Amino acid sequence: MTEPGRLAVRKTYKLYIGGAFPRSESGRSYAVTSSKGDFLANAAKASRKDARDAVVAARKAFPGWSGATAYNRGQILYRIAEMLEGRRAQFAAEVADADGVSVKRAGELVDAAVDRLVWYAGWSDKIGAVRGAANPVAGPYFNLSTPEPTGVVAVVAPPMGPLLGLVSVVAPVIVTGNTCVVVCSERAPLPAITLAEVLATSDLPGGVVNLLTGRAAELAPWLASHMDVNAIDLTGCDEELAVACEKDAAGNLKRVLRPPAGKIDWLADPGVDRMTAFLETKTVWHPIGV
Amino acid sequence: MSDIFEYAPAPESRDVVDIRPSYGLFVNGEWIDSLGDERHKTLNPATEEALAEFSYATPADVDRAVDAARKAYDSVWGRMPGRERAKYLFRIARIVQERARELAVLESLDNGKPIRESRDVDLPLVAAHFFYYAGWADKLRHAGLGEDPRPLGVAAQIIPWNFPLLMLAWKIAPALACGNTVVLKPAETTPLTALAFAEICRQADLPPGVVNIVTGAGETGQALAGHEGVDKVAFTGSTEVGRLIARSVAGTRKKLTLELGGKAANIVFDDAALDQAVEGIVNGIFFNQGHVCCAGSRLLVQESVEDELLAALKRRLATLRLGDPLDKNTDIGAVNSAAQLDRIRELSDAGEAEGAQRWSPPCALPDKGFWFPPTLFTGVAQSHRIAREEIFGPVLSVLTFRTPAEAVEKANNTPYGLSAGVWTEKGSRILWMADRLRAGVVWANTFNKFDPTSPFGGYKESGYGREGGRHGLEAYLDV
């Protein structure tokens, strides 16, 4: 990419916490290589403290984000898609490096990620109608069930699919009003941090999505046992790590989304399961009378 | 309890119930003896009289029950058309109605709850749950949970002692409607109505193995929840045990739903209809002796009406009648067990020791049995154990607040999130509060209402999953 006689200005990849881009408080980093083994960059290696800071940021962002109108959240998800589309070439290059696919194929994966965001954007103001209910109780009561976000969700993003996979696990969590702390693909974290730049410029309030790069096996157990995390998505964990995290998650009865049994096809229709896994149902009763 | 006038006793007859001296396990449609020899007696908590002897099922017994359930699932129930399953459930609902009086008496004898409640609340709801889920059996693809929802297989179900038959209905009705077979373990202090339900399954000609009942305590429950042959675990009980079950299920592919403890806030604003609120508070915490996971055990009252509300509440508490659960005039029955009574006493003593003021109406307790008077604590701080821990007894902690924001803050200041109550005449405030309360059920200007069509379940450490309504199907389907 470098032109003759000009040295490229390389990007410094950092964490994304509370809408800011800090380095890891631990001062650690790790070398990220392409699928061919070439050095790409040094990514921040997040620590337990970074994970805790990210949970604090996510908790702080929760009332505002969950209290925003569904219309507003949908618009912001669509805005993320717009910003992602605008940086298509950069993402295609990063995905090609990470996955060892052609730039053309990488472009298709970026397109799919954009489309996925648009798809989820449209769910924000429909999930309530699909998952809620007016319950015909046998008595003079108004009785209404509505879905609500669970709270702060920890997400272990899949190691494969550094962009499409990541978008496919983050969008369903936030579209319903949850906030999240994401452990990005350890193998290929660079598209995630570039996605953070998209998130930071897309009207998404700081703290709604927090992205950590580093070792999943090191970070996930802290998130699984964190008493202020309400749910955990273990999609990106290998079996051993998933079992350990699920056990830890019992500590405060976190909602757990287990890794699927087989390989995931991120290009397939995602269905609503990833949204409903992180919803509670609230039922309100009120007497009817004059 | 009242000095003004006394009611003549109006006891319900025990003759409508036939209790066998001894019970086995109900497996594959038959009564079988446990392979172990541990047997215990279940007591009438109001008199400490032994009612019947029953088995503590061993892991080998649980194997037999799970095998029977698997066989019934594979050969009959899992492949039966929904419209046929529906008819079995309708049959069960009808038999429950026909035998409602007998079951209500049996429930009051074994549990200690007033007959007024077992007759007017538990039994009608039990029948209603079977009727409701019967109708879903042949309509599952219309439930909005996917085009081809499939049953999970064998469900392990563990239920508590506070609503023995109602919890059985909450568990068994949706499981069977969705095409699963079940092995259910009732609580060790209240096995009798579950064993009576086994007879109802026989009267309904339910295929053998579709419903299996294994009695026992924690070890039987562990063997059941941890059994490799079950596909689903459903538990209602304490948060502590729920955590253990969640850990034990980790790493398996079993689907898990948990309905756990609560420490609900019942929030009364200064503009509330106070007399109605008093009734709601009484119903919220003294219904079923406070043995209710969603009980309104923390009263949050707006400071400006605290004196007025407490005076009215105390007046009302003085009219509650405590005593023989089979007396139709009884409001407050017996605490279910000596162990539970100890826990209630321990926490109440901690309340006093930590500086809260204790009050009970003048109330004579029977000499025999397990009893605790309706009790109020005022001057309660959020740090007190009685404001944080689930007491599961007739003990109300009173706290105050000044602003709606403070009420929300205090109400949500608990690891639990099962239910909440709001009392105000202002509609916009009800909706504002309902939005902000982190609880699965919000009762506004009412409390402790249940219905099979209405989802029930908690946020946070009150567990996961919902029972009741369309949402309750999801726990028993592969969607």
Check B469 against A135: CB less than 8 A apart. Answer: yes
> What pLDDT, in 10s, does the model give residues A247-290?
999 999 999 999 998 899 999 999 999 999 999 999 999 999 98
Which residue pairs from B367-370 have beta carbons closer than 8 angstroms and sit at least 24 positions apart in sequence?
A: B368/B46, B368/B47, B368/B48, B369/B44, B369/B45, B369/B46, B369/B47, B369/B48, B369/B112, B369/B334, B370/B45, B370/B46, B370/B48, B370/B112, B370/B334, B370/B335, B370/B336, B370/B337, B370/B338, B370/B340, B370/B341
| C-alpha to C-alpha distance for B42 and B190, rounded to whole angstroms | 7
Please compute, for residue A203, the number of CA atoms within 13 A of its CA located in the half-sphere on the CB side: 13
| HSE-CB of B392 using CA atoms within 13 angstroms | 21
- Are the CB atoms for B149 and B178 separated by under 8 Å? yes
Instruction: State the pLDDT at residue A3.
Output: 66
The predicted-structure confidence for A45-100, as pLDDT tens digits, reads as follows 999 999 999 999 999 999 999 999 999 999 999 999 999 999 999 999 999 999 99
Q: Which residue of A has its CA nearest to B144?
A: A130
Q: Is the dihedral of CA B466, B469, B471, B475 positive or negative?
A: positive
Q: Is the pLDDT of residue B33 over 70?
A: yes
Residue among B117, B426, B406 nearest B289 (CA):
B117
Catalytic residue, from B12, B188, B259, B390: name it: B259
Q: How many CA atoms lie within 13 A of B269 on its CB side?
A: 21
Measured CA distances, A225 to A149, A155, B142, B262 (Å): 20, 13, 38, 21
Question: Using DSSP, how many helices (H) and how many strands (E) does chain B show?
Answer: 15, 18
Inter-chain CB proximity A249 and B246 less than 8 Å = yes
Q: Is A233 on the interface with B (CB under 8 A)?
A: no
**For residue B31, what are the contacts with CB-CB under 8 A and spacing of at least 6?**
B23, B24, B25, B198
Task: Please give the domain boundaries of chain B with CATH numbers for all domains.
Answer: 14-260+462-478 (3.40.605.10), 265-444 (3.40.309.10)
pLDDT 10s digits, A106-117 = 999 999 999 999
Q: Is B471 within 8 Å of chain A by CB?
A: yes
Distance CA B163, CA B193 (A): 10
Asked if B471 and A145 come within 8 Å (Cβ–Cβ), the reply is yes
Neighbours of B364 (CB within 10 A): 10
Assess A230–B contact: CB distance below 8 Å, yes or no.
Answer: yes
Whole-number pLDDT of residue A4? 77
Residue B132's pLDDT band, with cuts at 50, 70 and 90, is very high
Q: What pLDDT shows up at residue B43?
A: 98
- Asked whether residue B165 carries a pLDDT value surpassing 60, the answer given is yes
CB contact under 8 A, B247 and A247: yes
Task: Flag whether residue B228 sits within 8 Å of chain A, measured between CB atoms.
Answer: no
- CA–CA gap between residue B117 and residue B328 (Å, rounded): 9
Nearest CB to A281: which of B144, B463, B471?
Answer: B471
- Give a yes or no: residue A118 inside a domain: yes
- Closest-CA residue of A relative to B454 is A135
Structure tokens at B281: 């508070």
DSSP characters over chain A: -PPTT----PPPP--BBTTB-PPPTT--EEEEE-TTS-EEEEEE---HHHHHHHHHHHHHHHHHHHHS-HHHHHHHHHHHHHHHHHTHHHHHHHHHHHHT--HHHHHHHHHHHHHHHHHHHTTTTTHHHHH-EE---SSSEEEEEEEEE-SEEEEE--SS-TTHHHHHHHHHHHHTT-EEEEE--SSS-HHHHHHHHHHHTTTPPTTSEEEE-S-HHHHHHHHHH-TT--EEE-TT--HHHHHHHHHHHGGGT-EEEPPPSS---TTS---SHHHHTTEEEEEEEEE---
CB-CB contact of A21 with A53 (8 Å)? no
End-to-end CA distance of chain A: 75
All residues of chain A having their beta carbon less than 8 Å from the beta carbon of residue B457 are 281
Query: B460 at the A interface (CB within 8 A)?
Result: yes
Please indicate whether, in this complex, the C-beta atoms of A282 and B434 are within 8 angstroms of each other: yes
Residue A23 included in any domain:
no
Provide the pLDDT for residue B4.
Answer: 63
Q: Per the structure, how many domains does chain A have?
A: 1
| For B470, nearest residue in chain A (alpha carbons) | A133
Residue type, B203: Q
Assess if residue A14 is contained within a domain.
no
Q: How far is A274 from chain B (nearest CA, A)?
A: 12
Tokens of B470: 């369309």
Average pLDDT over residues B277-304: 97
Residue A177 pLDDT level (bands cut at 50, 70, 90)? very high
Mean pLDDT, rounded, of chain B: 97
Supply the ipTM of this predicted assembly: 0.96
Of A135, A243, A261, the CB nearest to B453: A135
Largest CA distance in chain B: 65
pLDDT in tens, A181-197: 999 999 999 999 999 99
Chain B residues within 8 A of A280 when measuring between CB atoms: 440, 459
- A280 Cα to chain B: minimum distance (Å): 7
Give CA angle at B155 (B150, B157), nearest 5°. 140
B190 three-class SS: coil
Place of tokens 């009420």: B407
Which structural domain, as residue segments, surrounds residue A176? 29-287
At residue B299, the 3 state secondary structure works out as: strand
d(CA B388, CA B380): 11
Shortest distance, CA A157 to any CA of chain B (angstroms): 19
CA angle B340, B344, B348 (to 5 degrees): 170
CATH of the domain at A191: 3.40.605.10
Whether residue A22 lies inside any domain: the answer is no
DSSP letters, B319-375, are T--BS-TTBTT-SB---S-HHHHHHHHHHHHHHHHTTPEEE--S-PPPSSS-----E
Q: pLDDT digits over B426-463, tens only?
A: 999 999 999 999 999 999 999 999 999 999 999 999 99
Q: Is residue A134 less than 8 Å (CB to CB) from chain B? A: no
- The rounded distance, in Å, linking the Cα atoms of B344 and A80 is 54
pLDDT tens-digit readout, B318-332: 999 999 999 999 999
pLDDT confidence of residue B1: 47
b/e map of A214-230 (b: 16 or more CB within 10 Å)? bebbebbbbbbbbeebb
Distance, CA of B226 to CA of B360 (rounded, Å): 44
Q: Do the domain assignments include residue A185?
A: yes
Is B253 in the A-facing interface, judged by CB distances under 8 Å? yes
Residue A290 at interface with chain B, using a CB cutoff of 8 Å:
no
Q: Of A255, A284, A282, whose CA–CA distance to A131 is shortest?
A: A282
Over residues A211-236, the pLDDT tens digits come to 999 999 999 999 999 999 999 999 99
Does a structural domain hold residue A243? Answer: yes
Backbone angles phi, psi at B11, to 5 degrees: -75, 140
Is residue A2 very low, low, confident or very high in pLDDT (cuts 50, 70, 90)? Answer: low
Contact B292, B443 (CB under 8 A): no
The H-or-E segment that residue B22 falls in is none
Specify the DSSP element, H or E, that contains B267. Answer: strand B265-268
Which of A141, A250, A282 is closest, CB to CB, to B247? A250
Q: Which residue of A has its CA nearest to B276?
A: A287
Whole-angstrom Cα distance, residue B78 to residue A213?
A: 46
pLDDT digits 0-9 by tens, A99-157: 999 999 999 999 999 999 999 999 999 999 999 999 999 999 999 999 999 999 999 99
Q: How far is CA A231 from CA A4, A185, A260, B236, B252, in A?
A: 51, 19, 16, 20, 18
Q: How far is B465 from chain A (nearest CA, A)?
A: 8
Residue A11 counted as domain residue: no
Does residue A6 lie within any of the structural domains? no
pLDDT over threshold 70, residue A1:
no
Q: For residues B317 and B312, give the distance between their C-alpha atoms in angstroms, rounded to a whole number.
A: 9
- pLDDT tens-digit series, residues B336-395: 999 999 999 999 999 999 999 999 999 999 999 999 999 999 999 999 999 999 999 999
| Tens-digit pLDDT profile for residues B213-241 | 999 999 999 999 999 999 999 999 999 99
Average pLDDT value for residue range B78-88: 98
Work out the minimum CA distance from A277 to partner chain B, whole angstroms. Answer: 10
- Kindly state the helix (H) or strand (E) to which residue B385 belongs, with its residue range: helix B385-388
Q: What angle do CA B316, B322, B324 make, to 5 degrees?
A: 150
B259 carries an active-site annotation = yes
